[in-house]
Structure 1
Amino acid sequence: MVKKVFFFDLDDTLLDNFAAFCQTLKQYFPEREQNPDEIKRLYVTFRLKSETIYEESLSNEPKKVTSEFDRWKLVFNYFQQHFTQADLAVCDQQYHIFQKEQSLLPEYQRLFEKLQTNGVMVGVFTNGFATAQTNKIKQLNLTQHIPADQLFVSDLFGDAKPNVSCFEKLKEVLPTEVEEFFYVGDSYKNDVVPAYHAGWQPVWLNRFNERKVDYHTYQANDFDQLKHLIEELI
Protein backbone atom coordinates (compact mmCIF):
# COMPACT_ATOMS: atom_id res chain seq x y z
CA MET A 1 0.00 0.00 0.00
CA VAL A 2 1.47 3.31 -1.10
CA LYS A 3 1.55 5.92 1.67
CA LYS A 4 4.05 8.36 0.22
CA VAL A 5 4.78 9.75 -3.26
CA PHE A 6 7.67 11.73 -4.69
CA PHE A 7 7.04 13.50 -7.97
CA PHE A 8 9.80 15.28 -9.85
CA ASP A 9 9.80 18.20 -12.24
CA LEU A 10 11.52 17.64 -15.59
CA ASP A 11 13.31 20.73 -16.96
CA ASP A 12 16.23 21.87 -14.79
CA THR A 13 15.49 19.12 -12.29
CA LEU A 14 15.92 15.84 -14.19
CA LEU A 15 16.95 17.41 -17.52
CA ASP A 16 19.97 19.71 -17.21
CA ASN A 17 19.05 22.66 -19.39
CA PHE A 18 21.68 24.79 -17.67
CA ALA A 19 24.42 22.55 -19.07
CA ALA A 20 23.01 23.05 -22.58
CA PHE A 21 22.88 26.80 -21.96
CA CYS A 22 26.55 26.88 -20.91
CA GLN A 23 27.58 24.85 -23.96
CA THR A 24 25.75 27.31 -26.19
CA LEU A 25 27.51 30.27 -24.58
CA LYS A 26 30.92 28.66 -25.05
CA GLN A 27 30.21 28.13 -28.74
CA TYR A 28 28.78 31.55 -29.54
CA PHE A 29 30.65 33.77 -27.10
CA PRO A 30 34.05 32.02 -26.78
CA GLU A 31 35.99 35.25 -26.40
CA ARG A 32 33.91 36.43 -23.43
CA GLU A 33 35.13 35.76 -19.93
CA GLN A 34 32.35 33.92 -18.15
CA ASN A 35 32.21 34.20 -14.38
CA PRO A 36 30.29 31.13 -13.09
CA ASP A 37 28.16 33.11 -10.65
CA GLU A 38 27.28 35.72 -13.27
CA ILE A 39 26.37 33.00 -15.77
CA LYS A 40 24.05 31.42 -13.21
CA ARG A 41 22.33 34.75 -12.68
CA LEU A 42 22.07 35.24 -16.44
CA TYR A 43 20.53 31.79 -16.78
CA VAL A 44 17.95 32.52 -14.09
CA THR A 45 16.87 35.58 -16.13
CA PHE A 46 16.87 33.47 -19.31
CA ARG A 47 14.74 30.81 -17.63
CA LEU A 48 12.24 33.36 -16.28
CA LYS A 49 11.90 34.77 -19.79
CA SER A 50 11.32 31.23 -21.10
CA GLU A 51 8.55 30.74 -18.55
CA THR A 52 6.94 34.04 -19.58
CA ILE A 53 7.06 33.03 -23.24
CA TYR A 54 5.38 29.72 -22.40
CA GLU A 55 2.67 31.46 -20.39
CA GLU A 56 2.05 33.88 -23.26
CA SER A 57 1.77 30.98 -25.68
CA LEU A 58 -1.17 29.69 -23.63
CA SER A 59 -2.90 33.06 -23.83
CA ASN A 60 -6.04 33.57 -25.89
CA GLU A 61 -4.48 36.72 -27.29
CA PRO A 62 -1.88 35.57 -29.86
CA LYS A 63 -0.79 39.11 -30.58
CA LYS A 64 0.81 39.22 -27.14
CA VAL A 65 2.91 36.11 -27.71
CA THR A 66 6.65 36.79 -27.69
CA SER A 67 8.98 34.88 -30.00
CA GLU A 68 10.89 32.08 -28.29
CA PHE A 69 14.03 33.65 -29.75
CA ASP A 70 13.53 36.76 -27.64
CA ARG A 71 15.05 35.12 -24.58
CA TRP A 72 18.36 35.16 -26.45
CA LYS A 73 18.18 38.94 -26.74
CA LEU A 74 18.91 38.99 -23.01
CA VAL A 75 22.08 37.01 -23.61
CA PHE A 76 23.38 39.08 -26.54
CA ASN A 77 22.64 42.28 -24.63
CA TYR A 78 24.43 40.94 -21.57
CA PHE A 79 27.56 40.33 -23.64
CA GLN A 80 27.01 43.67 -25.41
CA GLN A 81 27.11 41.97 -28.78
CA HIS A 82 25.22 43.07 -31.89
CA PHE A 83 22.71 40.55 -33.20
CA THR A 84 20.19 39.95 -35.93
CA GLN A 85 17.02 37.88 -35.80
CA ALA A 86 18.94 35.17 -37.63
CA ASP A 87 21.58 35.15 -34.87
CA LEU A 88 18.85 34.61 -32.27
CA ALA A 89 17.32 31.76 -34.26
CA VAL A 90 20.64 29.98 -34.80
CA CYS A 91 21.56 30.33 -31.14
CA ASP A 92 18.22 28.91 -30.05
CA GLN A 93 18.55 26.03 -32.49
CA GLN A 94 21.98 25.13 -31.12
CA TYR A 95 20.67 25.31 -27.56
CA HIS A 96 18.01 22.74 -28.42
CA ILE A 97 20.64 20.51 -30.01
CA PHE A 98 22.73 20.57 -26.84
CA GLN A 99 19.58 20.07 -24.78
CA LYS A 100 18.78 16.88 -26.67
CA GLU A 101 22.24 15.52 -25.83
CA GLN A 102 21.55 15.57 -22.09
CA SER A 103 20.88 12.30 -20.29
CA LEU A 104 19.52 11.31 -16.89
CA LEU A 105 22.17 11.21 -14.18
CA PRO A 106 22.86 7.65 -13.00
CA GLU A 107 22.50 9.03 -9.47
CA TYR A 108 18.86 9.82 -10.20
CA GLN A 109 18.33 6.26 -11.42
CA ARG A 110 19.69 4.92 -8.14
CA LEU A 111 17.58 7.37 -6.15
CA PHE A 112 14.40 6.27 -7.95
CA GLU A 113 15.27 2.64 -7.25
CA LYS A 114 15.85 3.36 -3.56
CA LEU A 115 12.55 5.19 -3.26
CA GLN A 116 10.66 2.38 -4.93
CA THR A 117 12.41 -0.25 -2.82
CA ASN A 118 11.15 1.63 0.24
CA GLY A 119 7.57 1.48 -1.02
CA VAL A 120 7.47 5.07 -2.27
CA MET A 121 5.69 5.90 -5.53
CA VAL A 122 7.90 7.86 -7.94
CA GLY A 123 6.58 10.00 -10.75
CA VAL A 124 7.23 12.98 -13.00
CA PHE A 125 4.99 16.00 -13.41
CA THR A 126 6.15 18.64 -15.87
CA ASN A 127 4.85 21.81 -17.44
CA GLY A 128 4.83 22.14 -21.17
CA PHE A 129 3.33 20.96 -24.41
CA ALA A 130 2.60 17.25 -24.53
CA THR A 131 4.67 16.39 -27.61
CA ALA A 132 7.80 18.31 -26.58
CA GLN A 133 7.76 17.04 -22.99
CA THR A 134 7.00 13.47 -24.02
CA ASN A 135 10.06 13.58 -26.28
CA LYS A 136 12.17 14.71 -23.32
CA ILE A 137 10.78 11.86 -21.23
CA LYS A 138 11.84 9.46 -23.99
CA GLN A 139 15.23 11.17 -24.28
CA LEU A 140 15.93 10.50 -20.60
CA ASN A 141 14.60 6.92 -20.85
CA LEU A 142 12.40 7.63 -17.85
CA THR A 143 10.05 4.75 -18.65
CA GLN A 144 12.97 2.43 -17.85
CA HIS A 145 12.82 3.62 -14.24
CA ILE A 146 9.28 4.91 -13.70
CA PRO A 147 5.99 3.34 -14.89
CA ALA A 148 4.57 5.20 -17.88
CA ASP A 149 1.28 5.85 -16.06
CA GLN A 150 3.20 7.87 -13.46
CA LEU A 151 4.64 10.33 -15.99
CA PHE A 152 2.42 13.39 -16.44
CA VAL A 153 2.52 16.52 -18.61
CA SER A 154 0.39 19.49 -17.52
CA ASP A 155 -0.84 19.99 -21.07
CA LEU A 156 -2.71 16.68 -20.85
CA PHE A 157 -4.58 18.05 -17.83
CA GLY A 158 -5.53 21.12 -19.84
CA ASP A 159 -3.68 23.15 -17.25
CA ALA A 160 -0.27 24.62 -16.46
CA LYS A 161 1.88 25.50 -13.48
CA PRO A 162 1.91 27.76 -11.50
CA ASN A 163 -1.82 27.05 -11.23
CA VAL A 164 -2.53 25.29 -7.94
CA SER A 165 -5.17 23.29 -9.79
CA CYS A 166 -2.38 21.36 -11.57
CA PHE A 167 -1.33 19.71 -8.33
CA GLU A 168 -4.91 19.20 -7.23
CA LYS A 169 -5.65 17.38 -10.50
CA LEU A 170 -2.54 15.27 -10.07
CA LYS A 171 -3.68 14.23 -6.59
CA GLU A 172 -6.99 13.07 -8.05
CA VAL A 173 -5.32 10.44 -10.26
CA LEU A 174 -3.09 9.04 -7.51
CA PRO A 175 -4.02 6.20 -5.13
CA THR A 176 -6.47 7.29 -2.44
CA GLU A 177 -4.37 5.73 0.32
CA VAL A 178 -1.48 8.17 -0.23
CA GLU A 179 -0.90 10.28 2.88
CA GLU A 180 2.20 12.30 2.02
CA PHE A 181 2.82 14.13 -1.24
CA PHE A 182 6.29 15.48 -2.06
CA TYR A 183 7.17 17.49 -5.16
CA VAL A 184 10.78 18.10 -6.23
CA GLY A 185 11.32 21.05 -8.54
CA ASP A 186 13.71 23.86 -9.40
CA SER A 187 11.31 26.77 -9.89
CA TYR A 188 10.15 28.71 -6.84
CA LYS A 189 7.26 30.26 -8.78
CA ASN A 190 6.12 27.21 -10.73
CA ASP A 191 6.96 24.39 -8.34
CA VAL A 192 7.33 25.47 -4.72
CA VAL A 193 4.45 27.94 -4.36
CA PRO A 194 1.63 26.04 -6.14
CA ALA A 195 2.67 22.68 -4.67
CA TYR A 196 2.60 24.16 -1.18
CA HIS A 197 -0.87 25.66 -1.66
CA ALA A 198 -2.17 22.35 -3.03
CA GLY A 199 -1.10 20.51 0.11
CA TRP A 200 2.10 19.01 -1.23
CA GLN A 201 5.43 19.27 0.57
CA PRO A 202 7.79 21.10 -1.81
CA VAL A 203 11.43 20.08 -2.10
CA TRP A 204 13.23 22.95 -3.80
CA LEU A 205 16.31 22.13 -5.88
CA ASN A 206 17.68 25.65 -5.64
CA ARG A 207 20.72 25.24 -7.88
CA PHE A 208 21.09 28.94 -8.56
CA ASN A 209 20.87 30.29 -5.00
CA GLU A 210 17.70 32.24 -5.64
CA ARG A 211 15.52 34.14 -3.19
CA LYS A 212 14.62 32.92 0.28
CA VAL A 213 11.35 31.06 0.57
CA ASP A 214 8.18 32.52 2.04
CA TYR A 215 6.78 29.09 2.84
CA HIS A 216 8.08 26.15 4.82
CA THR A 217 9.85 23.97 2.31
CA TYR A 218 12.75 21.59 2.13
CA GLN A 219 15.68 22.93 0.14
CA ALA A 220 18.83 21.59 -1.53
CA ASN A 221 21.44 23.42 -3.59
CA ASP A 222 22.77 20.46 -5.59
CA PHE A 223 22.05 16.82 -6.28
CA ASP A 224 24.11 15.46 -3.38
CA GLN A 225 22.16 17.60 -0.91
CA LEU A 226 18.93 16.60 -2.61
CA LYS A 227 19.76 12.90 -2.38
CA HIS A 228 20.58 13.06 1.34
CA LEU A 229 17.49 15.15 2.05
CA ILE A 230 15.14 12.73 0.26
CA GLU A 231 16.74 9.75 1.98
CA GLU A 232 15.95 11.41 5.31
CA LEU A 233 12.36 12.07 4.27
CA ILE A 234 11.67 8.43 3.41
Structure 2
Amino acid sequence: MNGFVLPPPKAVFFDVDDTLYDHLIPFREALMHVLGTGDGFPYAPAYHRMRYYSDTLSAQAGGTPTQGRALHEMRTRRFILSLAEFGLELSAAQAAEVQAEYLSRQFDIRLFDGARSLISDLLGRECTVGLITNGPSEHQMKKIAALGLADLIPPELIYISGAVGFTKPDRRLFAHVADKLNFPPEACYYIGDSWRNDVVGALDAGWHVLWFNHRNAQPESEHKPHFRANSYEELRQLLLPSL
Protein backbone atom coordinates (compact mmCIF):
# COMPACT_ATOMS: atom_id res chain seq x y z
CA MET A 1 0.00 0.00 0.00
CA ASN A 2 1.06 3.60 -0.52
CA GLY A 3 0.93 4.77 3.08
CA PHE A 4 -1.91 7.29 2.82
CA VAL A 5 -5.69 7.32 2.95
CA LEU A 6 -7.82 9.09 0.37
CA PRO A 7 -10.87 11.21 1.25
CA PRO A 8 -14.14 9.25 1.51
CA PRO A 9 -15.54 8.77 -2.01
CA LYS A 10 -19.01 9.78 -3.14
CA ALA A 11 -18.89 7.36 -6.07
CA VAL A 12 -16.77 4.29 -6.79
CA PHE A 13 -16.81 2.68 -10.21
CA PHE A 14 -15.17 -0.61 -11.13
CA ASP A 15 -13.81 -1.98 -14.37
CA VAL A 16 -15.08 -5.51 -15.08
CA ASP A 17 -12.56 -7.71 -16.94
CA ASP A 18 -9.62 -8.73 -14.73
CA THR A 19 -10.77 -6.30 -12.05
CA LEU A 20 -13.91 -7.96 -10.72
CA TYR A 21 -12.93 -11.48 -11.80
CA ASP A 22 -9.85 -13.37 -12.98
CA HIS A 23 -9.83 -12.87 -16.74
CA LEU A 24 -6.82 -15.19 -17.08
CA ILE A 25 -8.90 -18.29 -16.27
CA PRO A 26 -11.04 -18.36 -19.46
CA PHE A 27 -7.94 -17.43 -21.49
CA ARG A 28 -5.95 -20.37 -20.09
CA GLU A 29 -8.85 -22.79 -20.45
CA ALA A 30 -9.47 -21.78 -24.08
CA LEU A 31 -5.82 -22.34 -25.04
CA MET A 32 -5.69 -25.69 -23.30
CA HIS A 33 -8.92 -26.87 -24.91
CA VAL A 34 -8.28 -25.70 -28.49
CA LEU A 35 -4.48 -25.75 -28.80
CA GLY A 36 -3.56 -28.41 -26.26
CA THR A 37 -1.15 -26.19 -24.36
CA GLY A 38 0.05 -27.84 -21.19
CA ASP A 39 0.70 -26.71 -17.65
CA GLY A 40 4.13 -25.40 -18.59
CA PHE A 41 2.88 -22.82 -21.07
CA PRO A 42 3.45 -19.18 -19.92
CA TYR A 43 -0.22 -18.26 -19.70
CA ALA A 44 0.16 -15.08 -17.67
CA PRO A 45 2.73 -13.41 -20.00
CA ALA A 46 0.72 -14.53 -23.05
CA TYR A 47 -2.44 -13.14 -21.53
CA HIS A 48 -0.70 -9.83 -20.88
CA ARG A 49 0.37 -9.64 -24.53
CA MET A 50 -3.15 -10.52 -25.69
CA ARG A 51 -4.50 -7.63 -23.64
CA TYR A 52 -1.78 -5.38 -25.08
CA TYR A 53 -2.76 -6.22 -28.66
CA SER A 54 -6.43 -5.92 -27.81
CA ASP A 55 -5.84 -2.36 -26.60
CA THR A 56 -3.50 -1.53 -29.50
CA LEU A 57 -5.85 -2.80 -32.19
CA SER A 58 -8.79 -1.06 -30.53
CA ALA A 59 -6.89 2.23 -30.52
CA GLN A 60 -6.01 1.80 -34.19
CA ALA A 61 -9.71 1.29 -34.91
CA GLY A 62 -10.61 4.47 -33.04
CA GLY A 63 -12.13 2.61 -30.10
CA THR A 64 -13.22 -0.93 -29.31
CA PRO A 65 -15.42 -2.19 -32.18
CA THR A 66 -18.76 -3.36 -30.84
CA GLN A 67 -20.15 -5.48 -33.63
CA GLY A 68 -19.67 -7.01 -37.06
CA ARG A 69 -16.57 -7.85 -39.03
CA ALA A 70 -14.36 -5.22 -37.37
CA LEU A 71 -14.98 -6.74 -33.94
CA HIS A 72 -14.36 -10.29 -35.20
CA GLU A 73 -11.11 -9.31 -36.91
CA MET A 74 -9.81 -7.44 -33.88
CA ARG A 75 -10.58 -10.35 -31.58
CA THR A 76 -8.91 -12.98 -33.76
CA ARG A 77 -5.95 -10.79 -34.72
CA ARG A 78 -5.02 -10.22 -31.08
CA PHE A 79 -4.62 -13.97 -30.59
CA ILE A 80 -2.54 -14.39 -33.76
CA LEU A 81 -0.18 -11.57 -32.77
CA SER A 82 0.17 -12.38 -29.09
CA LEU A 83 0.59 -16.15 -29.34
CA ALA A 84 3.15 -15.81 -32.15
CA GLU A 85 5.46 -14.27 -29.55
CA PHE A 86 5.31 -17.58 -27.65
CA GLY A 87 5.95 -19.87 -30.60
CA LEU A 88 2.33 -20.59 -31.55
CA GLU A 89 1.63 -19.69 -35.17
CA LEU A 90 -2.15 -19.63 -35.57
CA SER A 91 -4.14 -19.57 -38.77
CA ALA A 92 -7.14 -17.27 -38.94
CA ALA A 93 -9.40 -20.29 -38.47
CA GLN A 94 -7.50 -21.44 -35.37
CA ALA A 95 -7.56 -17.95 -33.89
CA ALA A 96 -11.31 -17.77 -34.47
CA GLU A 97 -11.75 -21.12 -32.71
CA VAL A 98 -9.67 -19.96 -29.73
CA GLN A 99 -11.67 -16.73 -29.60
CA ALA A 100 -14.99 -18.59 -29.67
CA GLU A 101 -13.88 -20.89 -26.86
CA TYR A 102 -12.53 -17.93 -24.88
CA LEU A 103 -15.85 -16.11 -25.18
CA SER A 104 -17.89 -19.15 -24.19
CA ARG A 105 -15.88 -19.56 -21.00
CA GLN A 106 -16.27 -15.93 -19.94
CA PHE A 107 -19.72 -16.64 -18.54
CA ASP A 108 -18.47 -19.30 -16.10
CA ILE A 109 -16.81 -16.80 -13.79
CA ARG A 110 -16.92 -15.64 -10.20
CA LEU A 111 -15.95 -12.48 -8.37
CA PHE A 112 -12.54 -12.10 -6.80
CA ASP A 113 -12.55 -12.84 -3.08
CA GLY A 114 -13.62 -9.72 -1.22
CA ALA A 115 -15.18 -7.93 -4.19
CA ARG A 116 -18.81 -8.48 -3.29
CA SER A 117 -18.35 -7.59 0.37
CA LEU A 118 -16.48 -4.41 -0.54
CA ILE A 119 -19.27 -3.32 -2.89
CA SER A 120 -21.90 -4.13 -0.24
CA ASP A 121 -20.07 -2.18 2.44
CA LEU A 122 -19.55 0.83 0.15
CA LEU A 123 -23.28 0.84 -0.51
CA GLY A 124 -23.85 0.64 3.22
CA ARG A 125 -21.88 3.86 3.54
CA GLU A 126 -24.31 5.49 1.05
CA CYS A 127 -21.65 5.51 -1.65
CA THR A 128 -22.75 5.30 -5.28
CA VAL A 129 -21.25 2.15 -6.83
CA GLY A 130 -21.23 1.33 -10.54
CA LEU A 131 -19.33 -0.19 -13.45
CA ILE A 132 -17.52 1.27 -16.46
CA THR A 133 -16.38 -1.28 -19.02
CA ASN A 134 -15.40 -1.54 -22.67
CA GLY A 135 -17.05 -3.90 -25.12
CA PRO A 136 -20.33 -4.80 -26.77
CA SER A 137 -23.24 -4.09 -24.45
CA GLU A 138 -24.97 -7.48 -24.60
CA HIS A 139 -21.72 -9.40 -24.09
CA GLN A 140 -20.63 -7.35 -21.08
CA MET A 141 -24.08 -7.53 -19.51
CA LYS A 142 -23.95 -11.33 -19.70
CA LYS A 143 -20.68 -11.28 -17.77
CA ILE A 144 -22.14 -8.94 -15.17
CA ALA A 145 -25.13 -11.26 -14.78
CA ALA A 146 -22.80 -14.26 -14.44
CA LEU A 147 -21.00 -12.45 -11.62
CA GLY A 148 -24.29 -12.09 -9.73
CA LEU A 149 -24.19 -8.32 -9.38
CA ALA A 150 -27.76 -7.51 -10.45
CA ASP A 151 -28.94 -7.22 -6.84
CA LEU A 152 -26.21 -4.70 -5.99
CA ILE A 153 -25.69 -2.52 -9.05
CA PRO A 154 -28.70 -1.19 -11.00
CA PRO A 155 -28.59 -0.95 -14.81
CA GLU A 156 -28.48 2.85 -14.76
CA LEU A 157 -25.07 2.68 -13.02
CA ILE A 158 -23.56 0.32 -15.60
CA TYR A 159 -21.78 2.17 -18.39
CA ILE A 160 -20.62 0.04 -21.33
CA SER A 161 -18.68 1.61 -24.19
CA GLY A 162 -20.79 -0.14 -26.82
CA ALA A 163 -23.90 1.55 -25.43
CA VAL A 164 -22.47 4.93 -24.44
CA GLY A 165 -20.47 5.57 -27.62
CA PHE A 166 -17.15 6.39 -25.94
CA THR A 167 -14.40 3.83 -25.30
CA LYS A 168 -11.85 3.86 -22.49
CA PRO A 169 -9.35 5.52 -22.29
CA ASP A 170 -11.41 8.36 -23.82
CA ARG A 171 -11.88 10.85 -20.98
CA ARG A 172 -15.32 11.65 -22.36
CA LEU A 173 -16.62 8.32 -21.07
CA PHE A 174 -15.66 9.22 -17.51
CA ALA A 175 -16.91 12.80 -17.94
CA HIS A 176 -20.24 11.40 -19.18
CA VAL A 177 -20.60 9.30 -16.03
CA ALA A 178 -19.73 12.17 -13.67
CA ASP A 179 -22.18 14.45 -15.49
CA LYS A 180 -24.95 11.86 -15.19
CA LEU A 181 -24.33 11.65 -11.45
CA ASN A 182 -24.00 15.42 -11.11
CA PHE A 183 -20.73 14.86 -9.22
CA PRO A 184 -17.46 16.73 -9.74
CA PRO A 185 -14.79 14.41 -11.17
CA GLU A 186 -12.66 14.61 -8.02
CA ALA A 187 -15.53 13.05 -6.04
CA CYS A 188 -15.42 9.95 -8.27
CA TYR A 189 -13.07 6.99 -7.83
CA TYR A 190 -12.22 4.41 -10.45
CA ILE A 191 -10.75 0.95 -9.87
CA GLY A 192 -9.26 -0.93 -12.82
CA ASP A 193 -6.37 -3.16 -13.86
CA SER A 194 -5.48 -1.74 -17.30
CA TRP A 195 -2.88 1.02 -17.33
CA ARG A 196 -3.93 2.39 -20.70
CA ASN A 197 -7.70 2.09 -20.37
CA ASP A 198 -8.26 2.57 -16.65
CA VAL A 199 -5.38 4.54 -15.17
CA VAL A 200 -4.78 6.89 -18.09
CA GLY A 201 -8.44 7.35 -18.98
CA ALA A 202 -9.70 8.12 -15.48
CA LEU A 203 -6.75 10.31 -14.52
CA ASP A 204 -7.12 12.37 -17.68
CA ALA A 205 -10.77 12.91 -16.70
CA GLY A 206 -9.79 14.19 -13.24
CA TRP A 207 -10.95 11.15 -11.25
CA HIS A 208 -9.19 9.54 -8.33
CA VAL A 209 -7.66 6.31 -9.60
CA LEU A 210 -6.95 3.09 -7.73
CA TRP A 211 -4.81 0.86 -9.93
CA PHE A 212 -5.72 -2.77 -9.21
CA ASN A 213 -2.33 -4.12 -10.18
CA HIS A 214 -2.74 -7.71 -9.10
CA ARG A 215 -0.52 -8.93 -11.96
CA ASN A 216 2.41 -6.68 -11.04
CA ALA A 217 2.44 -4.88 -14.39
CA GLN A 218 4.73 -1.92 -15.07
CA PRO A 219 3.53 1.65 -15.68
CA GLU A 220 3.36 2.55 -19.36
CA SER A 221 3.43 6.36 -19.08
CA GLU A 222 4.14 9.19 -16.66
CA HIS A 223 0.62 9.09 -15.24
CA LYS A 224 0.48 8.60 -11.48
CA PRO A 225 -2.46 6.70 -9.98
CA HIS A 226 -3.45 7.88 -6.53
CA PHE A 227 -3.11 4.38 -5.15
CA ARG A 228 -1.99 0.89 -6.14
CA ALA A 229 -3.44 -2.29 -4.72
CA ASN A 230 -2.74 -5.98 -5.29
CA SER A 231 -5.84 -7.36 -3.57
CA TYR A 232 -9.33 -6.49 -2.46
CA GLU A 233 -8.13 -6.41 1.12
CA GLU A 234 -5.84 -3.52 0.19
CA LEU A 235 -8.69 -1.78 -1.63
CA ARG A 236 -10.85 -2.18 1.48
CA GLN A 237 -8.19 -0.72 3.75
CA LEU A 238 -8.02 2.35 1.54
CA LEU A 239 -11.70 2.93 0.86
CA LEU A 240 -13.13 1.77 4.19
CA PRO A 241 -10.26 2.07 6.66
CA SER A 242 -12.45 1.88 9.77
CA LEU A 243 -14.24 -1.34 8.84
Q: TM-score, normalised by structure 2?
A: 0.81
Determine whether 1:221 maps to 2:230.
yes
Specify the alignment match of 1:142 in structure 2: 149
The question of whether the paired residues in 1 share the 8 Å contact of 2:199 and 2:211 is answered with: yes
Determine whether 1:5 maps to 2:5.
no
Alignment partners' CA distance in 1, 2:106 and 2:22: 8
Identity of aligned residues (%): 28
Alignment partners' CA distance in 1, 2:9 and 2:89: 55
Which digits, 9 at most, give the CA deviation of each residue in 1:32-69, with x for residues without a partner? Answer: 623xxx5322211101112233344557xx99884421
Alignment partners' CA distance in 1, 2:184 and 2:195: 28
Which digits, 9 at most, give the CA deviation of each residue in 1:48-102, with x for residues without a partner? Answer: 112233344557xx99884421222235424424433222121111111221211
Specify the alignment match of 1:73 in structure 2: 80
Cα drift, residue 7 of structure 1:
0.4
Alignment partners' CA distance in 1, 2:224 and 2:74: 33
The question of whether the paired residues in 2 share the 8 Å contact of 1:7 and 1:182 is answered with: yes
Which digits, 9 at most, give the CA deviation of each residue in 1:146-198, with x for residues without a partner? Answer: 12221111233221111111111111000448962100011111111121121
Cα drift, residue 129 of structure 1:
2.0
Aligned residues: 229
Determine whether 1:14 maps to 2:23.
no
Specify the alignment match of 1:152 in structure 2: 159
The change in CA–CA distance for 1:121 and 1:225 in structure 2 (over 3 A counts) is: same
Determine whether 1:230 maps to 2:239.
yes
Give the residue type in structure 1 aligned to 2:231.
D
Question: Aligned with 1:173: secondary structure?
Answer: helix
Alignment partners' CA distance in 1, 2:92 and 2:204: 40
Alignment partners' CA distance in 1, 2:110 and 2:209: 24
Specify the alignment match of 1:118 in structure 2: 125
Alignment partners' CA distance in 2, 1:137 and 1:63: 25
Specify the alignment match of 2:3 in structure 1: none
Alignment partners' CA distance in 1, 2:89 and 2:9: 55
The change in CA–CA distance for 1:56 and 1:216 in structure 2 (over 3 A counts) is: closer
Question: Aligned with 1:143: secondary structure?
Answer: coil
Q: 2:47 aligns with which of 37, 43, 47?
A: 43
The change in CA–CA distance for 1:229 and 1:76 in structure 2 (over 3 A counts) is: same
The question of whether the paired residues in 1 share the 8 Å contact of 2:11 and 2:188 is answered with: yes
The question of whether the paired residues in 1 share the 8 Å contact of 2:229 and 2:235 is answered with: yes
List runs of 5+ in structure 2 lacking aligned partners: 1-7
Question: Aligned with 1:232: secondary structure?
Answer: coil
List runs of 5+ in structure 1 lacking aligned partners: none
